[in-house]
Each structure stands twice: as C-alpha cells, then as structure tokens.
Amino acid sequence: MTIRIGVIGTGVMGAGHASMLASQIAGCEVVAVADADEARAKVVAGKVGAARVFSDGKALIGDTGVDAVVVASPDPTHHPLVMECLRQVKPVLCEKPLGTNSTECREIVETEMRSGRRLVQVGFMRRFDPGYEAVKAALTEERHGLPLFLHCIHRNAVAASYTTSEAIILNTAVHEIDAARFLLGEEFVSATVRGTRATRSAPSRTPQFLLLETASGVLVDIEAFVDAQYGYDVRAELVCEKGAMSLAQTHAVRTWSSGTVGNSLYADWMGRFDDAYRRELQAWVQSIRSWKAVGASAWDGYVSTRTAELCLEAYRSRQTVTIDIEERPAFYA
Ligand code: NAI
C-alpha cells in the first residue's frame, strides 16, 4: 500500500520534507501540498509531482485522497492542524513544537487518547540521528556506568530578526530538552536559566544557558545561542561514571590551508541532520503501514513544551523552578 501524503507549509522544512518524501522515502507519494502562499505551494507541488495544491491546510486534511499529513507550517498553526488530523483520523507528523504552550499540547494528548489510536508523531528528529542513537544504546547497556553530566550546545549562525530570548527557550532549547529526555529516559525536576549579555550582532536578545536536573540527579546544561555567526554547531557530551561519549561531528570537507587544518561546518540544520530527517520520515511512513507508532509522541511533545515553559518561568524569575511532570499515561508507554 502506498501512503498518500499531504504536506502543509512549503517553506524550509516543508519543502525539504516534501522533496525527501517524493524522492528518497519508500512506500509513499506526495499527492498534495498546502501553503498560505499558494504560489510557493505550486512551485513545490511542481517539483514533487503533487497533483493538488491548497492555500488552506484544513482543506488538505479533508481531502479524501490524502492518507497522512506532514505539518510544517509556523508554530501557531500546529495545534489547530493536528486537532483537525485527529478529527479526520489521519496520521500526522507535526514539526516541533507540538503547540505554542502546554495547554494546547495537553488538549492534543487528551484527544488522541480518546481516539484510542496513536496518530501523532512530533518532528524531534534527533531521536533518529545515528549519533544520538549510539549514545542512547551505550547508556541503555550501561557500557560506561551511570550518567552524571550531559553537556548540550546548540548554536545557529543567525536567527530571524524577530527571534526573542523567550523563543530561544521555547523553540530552540526545546530540541535539546527532548534530546536529553530521549537519551536519559527520565524527566527533569528542576531548572535554573540565565541569559548572558546580548551580542552586538543581535542586541535585542540574549543567548541562554539552562541548567536542569533529572529525577535521578543527572545534571544537564544547555547553551542555546542562535547568533553564533560562524555556522551551525550542535554538540552533546555525556559523562558517565567510567567513560564519556560525545557526538562525532559530521563534516563534508576537511581543509589544510595557511598552516591550519580544519573541518567545514554545515550552514544549518538541513545539512547537519539530513540523515536524521530521512530516517525520521522513513520510520514514520513505515509506522503508518504497520500501525506501530515510533519517534516522539504527542506526550513527548507535551512534556518538552511544558518543561520549556517552566524554563521560561525560571528565566523570568531568576529563581530555580520545580518541574513537576505528571506520570506518563499507559497509552504512551
Ligand atoms: P518557514 O517560514 O520557512 O515556512 C513556513 C511556511 O508555512 C511558509 O511557506 C508560510 O507561507 C507557510 N504558512 C504560514 N501560515 C500558514 C498556514 N496557516 N497554513 C499553511 N501554511 C502556512 O518556516 P520553517 O523554518 O520551515 O519552519 C516550519 C516549522 O518547522 C516551524 O514550526 C519550526 O519550528 C519547525 N522547524 C523544525 C526544525 C527541525 O529541526 N525539526 C528546524 C526548523 C524549523
């Protein structure tokens, strides 16, 4: 059975997903695309061979020729579009974050549980990155003993001018929060957050530093710096009782010149996580065919947003904030 997919949002992420689904992912075809900017949607439709173009995402979801949906439109559209997918009982891969706040995410969780079927996957693609997977496997087998520290770095070269200090927590650090939860397999219990001084290239926002503690006492620090200028740079180092593991940096090219040797950096996430996106999409399509959910669930989407929200509270108050996540429902076991 070929899964007929509709993609909503044809900007950076949506165009990338549509192209990958059409050319590199087995068992599916892209039959429809939607974008508020219909002209943009038409260009992407032409490239991926999608016959139908919509300017309204809900109309795409209602199309009887669409079996499953990718939501890659801006964050505020995620909740209404995912809710519509649940109403129409269509599997949906929604880009992160699942909602703009935890109330929206919780409503999605409750609605999905009532539907009795796992239909929502959240686009936390790090879970499909071979490096993160290898660290997770070593941890699960306790190859280096119990974890003590997880150091996470998330640097972008540049960010949109409207990006705020708050958005750096809710939209950027949320990736690291989910990745840490995925690796360590437990929830956070407290957060302290500080911004350093603003940089001269982005005076309206401050790079963020988050210090979180997990239920078992692992300390996780996250640097989220979206104006680093020099390139896209994501790192993670896990320190355990008798060993440490750090993600190997993947580079296209190594250069020897002018007395130095160096590795080129990716400009952004599309190159760095190309493999993770491909594996995420393939696993999602396979999960629809097998009816066996994979990746980050709606519950993971809720918990990561709830955690990020409490980090925001810690940032604003300059106090250490308690994180009190409810028990994971058996539905998401
Ligand atoms: P973008 O701005 O490049 O593209 C968004 C597209 O959605 C635009 O073409 C816009 O016209 C369209 N759009 C706006 N309102 C719409 C609506 N109501 N219905 C349909 N289309 C609408 O944004 P980008 O970077 O592609 O981000 C999209 C989503 O992906 C965001 O939620 C973002 O947080 C997430 N994202 C995820 C990443 C990941 O690594 N998983 C990386 C970057 C973004």
Cα(95) to centroid of ligand 1, in Å? 8
pLDDT at position 250 is 73
Contact 189, 262 (CB under 8 A): no
Cα(125) to centroid of ligand 1, in Å? 15
Over the stretch 141-180, which tens digit does the pLDDT of each residue have? 999 999 999 999 999 999 999 999 999 999 999 999 999 9
pLDDT at position 165 is 97
* Residue ranges in the chain whose pLDDT is less than 50: none
- Domains defined along the chain, listed by start: 3-126+275-297 (3.40.50.720), 130-268+304-332 (3.30.360.10)
Q: What is the pTM of this model?
A: 0.96
Over the stretch 259-284, which tens digit does the pLDDT of each residue have? 999 988 888 999 999 999 999 999 99
Q: Which of 53, 95, 178 to mutate to test the pocket of ligand 1 (most atoms within 8 A of CB)?
A: 95
- Phi and psi at 125, nearest 5°, equal -75, -15
3-state helix/strand/coil string of 238-284: EEECCEEEECCCCCCCEEEECCEEEECCCCCHHHHCHHHHHHHHHHH
Atom of ligand 1 nearest to the CA of 55: 20
Cα(139) to centroid of ligand 1, in Å? 34
Atom of ligand 1 nearest to the CA of 75: 32
pLDDT at position 292 is 94
Cα(71) to centroid of ligand 1, in Å? 8
Ligand 1 residue neighbourhood (C-beta within 6 Å): 8-14, 34-37, 40, 57, 72-75, 77, 95-96, 123, 125, 171, 269
